[in-house]
Homo-oligomer: A and B are copies of this chain.
Amino acid sequence: MKWCRVEAPDGASYAELDGEHVELLDAAPFADCRRTGRRYRLDEMKLLPPVIPANFYAAGLNFGSHVEWAKQYHGMTHLKIPDQADIGYRSPSALIGSGADIVVPLDSSGPVEYEGELVAIIGRRAKYLAENDALECVAGYTLGNDLSERAWQKSDRTLWRAKNCDTWKPMGPFITTGLDPMNLTISVKINGENAAEYTTDKMLFSAQHYIAEISRYMTLWPGDVIWLGTDNPTLPDLKHGNVCEIIQEEIGVLRNPVVRASA
């Protein structure tokens, strides 16, 4: 099953995909929801982030090759391969849906790089999960682009503007159910050309491990999202006019143009 959130005539609405159409739902798909009978052509709808999370978790460093590359290529000498699954945070204010512009602030020297990530979407309230049962609280999976301004990532004490500028957290296009999060291929295209590809089986800490660990200390709530990190170099850096696509076969294509802010 595939779900999304769309800008419907009456406002933002969850919807279920049905071929080339969407049918609006009267609540979140992971809540007690019903189909409303209101159908639209998918290609006529503006896609929104498939959920606005109350709590926005991000693994950050979860693939060894990416950590080693960032250390060497970007001189991020403080980075090391994590020895435990410490989760980080991003801000919902930065979320946009597939199709919306990624806007680079005027005072960014860059580079601004994509990070194509798998995203787990929590479907039910959960705490104290065993790792073996942890995926049962996941409603489905989507894609995220953890845009990163590498100069600010090095200069600042926190990741605030390096990761959380307005429009810098594209998420979508769809929530897909029934996937094995540890057996997916995620690829990235810039202007239609292959830029990167990795498989999720290389995660340092699995989706189920992260979820179980978080749930030892924090209640997970329906709609919370956990971004699971990216592998490999994240080049080339993004320029005005580029179109960045994060792709996974069963989830779809998260496609966002890049523009430089005007004065």
Which residue numbers of A lie inside 8 Å of B, CB to CB? 52, 54-55, 57, 60-61, 82, 84, 86-94, 105, 107, 127, 156-158, 160-161, 164-166, 214, 216-221, 224
Contacts and interface: CB of A to CB of B under 8 A. Distances in A.
A84 to B, nearest CB: 7
Nearest to A224: B93
Contact of A90 (B89, B107, B160): B89
Contacts of A89: 89-91, 158, 160, 164
Given A54-B93, A57-B91, 8 more contacts: A55-B91, A84-B156, A86-B158, A91-B218, A93-B221, A93-B224, A160-B214, A161-B216
Nearest to A157: B86
Copies of this chain: 2
Given A54-B52, A89-B89, A94 B156 contact: no
B86 A166 contact: no
A86 B160 contact: yes
B217 A166 contact: yes
23 contacts: A52-B54, A54-B93, A55-B91, A55-B93, A60-B158, A84-B156, A86-B157, A86-B158, A86-B160, A87-B158, A87-B160, A89-B158, A89-B160, A94-B218, A107-B216, A127-B166, A160-B214, A161-B216, A161-B218, A164-B218, A165-B218, A166-B218, A166-B219
A96 to B, nearest CB: 12
A248 B127 CA distance: 34
A64 to B, nearest CB: 15
A224 B60 CA distance: 24
A228 to B, nearest CB: 15
A117 to B, nearest CB: 16
